[in-house]
C-alpha cells in the first residue's frame, strides 16, 4: 500500500533559525496536504498542493510539491516559538479521498 515517509522525526532549532521537513511517497500522489498539531491540540489544516512543481507561501511558510508529485517539503523561515508543534504531511493517491499521514516532524524552538 501507499507509504508516506517524513523526515526528520524531531528538529530542535534556536529561535530565528530556519526549519524544513520533507515527505516522500512510494507512489505518485494526486495531492498532498500539510497539517500542524500543537502540543495537546488537534491537527489543523495548513495547505493543499495539487500541481506538479507547485509552490505556495503563507507568510514565513513555504510549501513545495515535487515535479514527479512524489515528494513535498515545508520550509519555515526565521522560526518563532509559536511555530512549535508537529507538522504532518498527508498524501492521497489514485482516486482515494483518504489521505495517508506521514509520521510527522516535531519542531522544538528554543528561545
Partner 1 sequence: DTEVTQTPKHLVMGMTNKKSLKCEQHMGHRAMYWYKQKAKKPPELMFVYSYEKLSINESVPSRFSPECPNSSLLNLHLHALQPEDSALYLCASSQAPGVLDTEAFFGQGTRLTVV
Chain contacts with partner 1 (rule: CB under 8 A):
30-31, 33, 35, 41-45, 48, 50, 88, 90, 92, 95, 97-99, 101-104, 106
> How many beta carbons lie within 10 A of that of residue 77, not counting itself?
14
CB-based contacts of 50, cutoff 8 Å, min separation 6: 30, 31, 65
Secondary structure of the chain: what % helix, strand, coil (to 5)?
A: 5, 55, 45
Would you say 7 or 44 has its CB closer to partner 1?
Answer: 44
Would you say 90 or 109 has its CB closer to partner 1?
Answer: 90
CB 29 within 8 A of CB 102: no
Would you say 97 or 111 has its CB closer to partner 1?
Answer: 97
Cell 511555530 identifies what position? 83
Decide: helix, strand or coil at residue 93: coil
Min separation Cβ 33 and partner 1, Å? 6
Min separation Cβ 15 and partner 1, Å? 23
Min separation Cβ 71 and partner 1, Å? 17
Would you say 71 or 105 has its CB closer to partner 1?
Answer: 105
Amino acid at each position: 500500500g501507499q507509504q508516506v515517509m517524513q523526515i526528520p522525526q524531531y528538529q530542535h532549532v534556536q529561535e530565528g533559525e530556519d526549519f524544513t521537513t520533507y515527505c516522500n511517497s512510494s507512489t505518485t500522489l494526486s495531492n498532498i496536504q500539510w497539517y500542524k498539531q500543537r502540543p495537546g491540540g488537534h491537527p489543523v489544516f495548513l495547505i493543499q498542493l495539487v500541481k506538479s512543481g507547485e509552490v505556495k507561501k503563507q507568510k514565513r511558510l513555504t510549501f513545495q510539491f515535487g515535479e514527479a508529485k512524489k515528494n513535498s517539503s515545508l520550509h519555515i523561515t526565521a522560526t518563532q516559538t509559536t511555530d512549535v508543534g508537529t507538522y504532518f504531511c498527508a498524501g492521497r493517491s489514485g482516486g482515494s479521498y483518504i489521505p495517508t499521514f506521514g509520521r510527522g516532524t516535531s519542531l522544538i524552538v528554543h528561545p
